[in-house]
Amino acid sequence: MSTAGAGPNLAALDQAAALPIDAEIWNQNLAAVAATDPPLAALLKSTSVPESWRSCAALDGSPAWRTERAGEPPAWLGGSAAPRTRAEGLFGGEAPPAANPLLPTIGSGHEAAFLLSRMAAHQAVFVVEPDAARVCAVLTVLDFAHAISAGRILFSGGREVGAWLLETLNATPGLLPPASILYADSIDSAAAEALRRSLESVSGKVLGRRHGRLEELRRTAARQEASPTPRILAVALTTESLAHETADELASAAQRIGWNAAAFALDAPSRTHPLALAEELTRLEPTLTVCVDHAAAKLPLASGGLEVQLILSPPIEPPSLGAGEFVLAASPAVRAAVGKSAEGGLLDFPWAASQAVVACDPPATRTHDVALLGDLPNDSETACGIDQPTHRMLWEHMRRAAKHWDAEAIAFPEALLRDAERTCKLALNEPELRRRMIRLIERVLVPAALLRAFAAVLDARGASGVGIGKGWTNRNSFSSVRAAVAAGVSARLAIGSLLPVGVTREMVDAMAAGWPPLIHCAPGRTFTEQTGGAFSQGGWKAAFSDAAGLAKGLAFLSDAAALARAATAVRQHALARHRWEQRLPELLEALKKRHASGIKST
């Protein structure tokens, strides 16, 4: 792709300031296209942006192009002098597309960029654009490299639409066809109707062919043959990144101990149609399939081996489990929540440390005093959807009550609600409304109150803190311990709570990182019962339930020698006791025994 020489001063044209070309954006975009669509890359390399086009800053500050053909008034590529704002106006007022959309033109490029910013990682935008110069222009000023590499945006690039869609979808069995045409009024009605017919025809052919292949795989599924080497497939068919990362951790750990293993997560457009997973099941023939946070019934075909569901966090409602489904509980809180729902059997399969944290030696000097573990929810009435004045009154009373975080009531949402009802002389009598309010108390109000209280204690002491989780808008934060460690961030201590979901990955990763954890526990049961003993070894007393206990734990910040010993002890404990490489062989052996004996529960 090439651009040509100097032209008129764009600053004088509708105040459109010239925008210097960043060659790196084009180079990275082209490299991504070359790796995923070589014919399109060849076309783009041989295409030049017309000399009469100029890159410039649009009126909303976004990168854009102006066309300045001789004898014609200047025009904006995509038809808007504020393309980013226009894209937000076009699509921002609606829910993100539930399925893959198709754009009938590349427009300014901001339309596709805005859609991608709102869509899930397993969704893709198909862009029909017959003019390769327009594609070149957009890829020169907008960074789509990651989206192109991940298969989240695909360009027709001048190819006949039906043939391009058919070729693309046949080459990627897990990619779903576009289900809707957005921005259809950007082309004339006849062209839009022809595009709809072509899309319907291609979708019918592709989905029919895939259905036939699925039926063939189900009919010809091979019977498992004995093998000395276990084969494990970790599957995560949810959209949650924690489930995806856990599936990857399990597969990687299995490979490290010499097993044949793979992970399959709903994390890319190429893995969305069930045929992609069916082909992987057929290829690997797993002796053990671990379904992370979903039922084995979601598998497109039976694996022929053992199938279990690993539940990472206690579900809000009792899970609906298939008859005979075997469940693995990542924490005692999960075990308690699942209870007798697991008719097929229940085993403890506690959290283990992330390999990325295990592999990184803790630095001698820490960047922060304390890491605050957990998502900090937005507990405002508006964010929680609480709009009735009486309900807002109850909510505000409970928020004030929860500031007394070391009171016993913090662990009992129903008690908090009853107290608010008595004080406000109100009652929530409708069963579903009451259940919803209790869920909000448990999953939003209580964790927000606890984490804010812990942060306030740190601030009062003048201790530096880093948030580990979502929602930490008022301080430095990272999505996870592993992300913090990768960024060179460390802490001398970590603070988290077992309310409301019990032991979390971040707590175990904090130990593996050498961040001695202070864990807030609920009254009524022992700390060991609530944690399964995960933090009871290594010479570190991690539990607290009130302000005095937290202050005692934070006192270690003044004892560097004791804190260094604790950091070594908790890391050694995590490496010795909390590794997926240890969990997996124990799990497989336990499952084989139970499968052979027919025992259903622990």
Min mean pLDDT across 11-20, 173-182, 499-508 is at 11-20
Confidence of residue 530 (pLDDT cuts 50, 70, 90): confident
Residue 228: pLDDT band with limits 50, 70, 90:
confident
**pLDDT for position 7:** 46
Model confidence at 403, pLDDT cuts 50, 70, 90, reads: very high
Task: Enter the tokens of residue 311.
Answer: 């539940």
Tens of pLDDT along 318-360?
777 777 788 999 999 999 999 877 777 899 999 999 999 999 9
Give the closest residue to 449 by CA, choosing from 520, 503, 517, 377: 377
Q: Who contacts 166 (Cβ-Cβ below 8 Å, separation ≥6)?
A: 202, 205, 206
Position 391 pLDDT exceeds 90: yes
Tell me what pLDDT residue 223 has.
Answer: 63
How many CA within 13 A on the CB side of residue 557? 24
Task: Please name the helix (run of DSSP H) or strand (run of DSSP E) that holds residue 548, with its range, or none.
Answer: helix 547-554
> What is the average pLDDT across 473-497?
95
Mean pLDDT of 42-46: 96
Two structure tokens written together for 467: 């948030």
CA distance 274 to 257: 29
Best mean pLDDT range from 177-186, 341-350, 366-375, 546-555: 366-375
Three-state SS letters, 457-475: HHHHHCCCEEEECCCCCCC
**Residue 3 pLDDT exceeds 80:** no
Q: Name the residue among 6, 187, 4, 221 with its Cα closest to residue 106.
A: 187
Decide if pLDDT at 226 tops 70.
Answer: no
What mean pLDDT comes out for the span 371-378? 97
- Other beta carbons within 10 angstroms of residue 415's beta carbon come to 15
Show the beta-strand stretches assigned E in 47-179.
Answer: 53-57, 63-67, 75-76, 101-103, 125-127, 153-155
Q: What percent of the chain has pLDDT over 70?
A: 95
Query: Which residues are paired to 466 by β-bridges?
Result: 371
- 199 token code pair: 């899309």
CA 434, distance to chain mean position in Å, is 30
Tokens coding 65: 């192009």
For 179, the token pair is 């289900």
E strand intervals along 408-516: 465-468, 477-478, 491-497
Packing angle, helices 560-577 and 505-512, rounded to 10: 120
Of 59-73, 274-288, 428-442, the least confident: 59-73
pLDDT tens profile 243-296: 999 999 999 999 999 999 999 999 999 999 999 999 999 999 999 999 999 999
Q: Is the pLDDT of residue 601 over 50?
A: no
Q: What is the spatial distance between Cα 575 and Cα 567, in angstroms, rounded to a whole number?
A: 12
Largest alpha-carbon pair distance within the chain? 86
Average pLDDT, the chain: 91
Region 361-383 average pLDDT: 96
> What pLDDT is recorded for position 588?
92
Location of structure tokens 């792709």: 1
pLDDT in tens, 304-320: 899 999 999 998 877 77
Say which amino acid occupies 556.
F
- pLDDT tier at 526, thresholds 50, 70, 90: confident
**What is the token pair recorded at 191?**
């062209």
Q: How many CA atoms lie within 13 A of 3 on its CB side?
A: 21
**What was the pLDDT predicted at 72?**
84
Tens of pLDDT, residues 282-293: 999 999 999 999
pLDDT tens digits along 23-41: 999 999 999 999 999 999 9
Position 596 pLDDT exceeds 70: no
